[in-house]
Amino acid sequence: MKNSLFITLFFAMILPAHAHFQELIPSTDIVTVQGDRDLSIELVWGHPMEEQTMEMAKPIQFGVQVDGSKQDLLETLEPQTVKDHQAWKAQYTVKRPGDHIFYVEPAPYWEPAEGVMIIHNTKVVVSAMGRESGWDEKVGLAAEIVPEVRPYGLWTGNLFQGMVLKGGKPVPGAEVEVEYLNTDGAVEIPSDPFVTQV
């Protein structure tokens, strides 16, 4: 589902707002027993609410974790162009029940406004075949958000809550940025504060 609670929640790396996001977008966030088990996964770098893309270098790591076991998917990535910019895509077939945590560590980028290199570690959870377990597992990224509530099957008005970890340890009061994935410009932005939620 293209608007699957954009848990690319920009793992803010505990830095101020800049509104660049590493997008990790599965073709669906729930795979049913009777449904199609083939996922298409897009990796796009840009501004999701404003529908802008930017050049994305090949990631450092890309994989999936199921029941605590990781599978390296980096070599499955294929380059693609999204709105005139380099992006990536992968195909993945779900073979077993359980939550699938897809994750990416993109190449670092220089943020001149901060004078630092930033890495947008990102993950998204796909529920598979009704076995709702594993969504709250750590992946072990340098910085990540571990969900405290199930991150799929949410209705408008539901809340997502998670714990920000850096080096595996909680970061109290961490600033997290969230943007809506504004597919096909379905949402008109009334003013700047509606672009990035902080």
CATH number at residue 108: 2.60.40.1220
106-144 confidence digits (pLDDT tens):
999 888 888 888 899 999 999 999 999 999 999 999 999
**Could you tell me if residue 53 is inside a domain?**
yes
Number of domains in the chain: 1
Average pLDDT estimate for 174-197? 89
Mention every residue, 6+ apart, whose C-beta is less than 8 A from residue 8.
Answer: 21, 22, 23, 24, 25, 48, 120, 122, 124
Q: What is the largest CA-CA distance in the chain?
A: 50
**Could you tell me if residue 5 is inside a domain?**
no
**Could you tell me if residue 101 is inside a domain?**
yes
pTM for the predicted model, two decimal places: 0.88
Residue 179 has pLDDT above 80, yes or no: yes
The DSSP secondary structure of 70-99, one letter per residue, reads EEE-GGG-EEEEETTEEEEEEEEE--SSS-
- 17 or 160, greater pLDDT: 160
**φ/ψ bin of 8: left (φ > 0), alpha (ψ from -120 to 50), beta (otherwise):** alpha
Instruction: Provide the residue range defining the domain that includes 98.
Output: 21-194
Output the average pLDDT for the chain: 89
Alpha carbons 82 and 87: distance in angstroms, whole number: 6
**Could you tell me if residue 12 is inside a domain?**
no
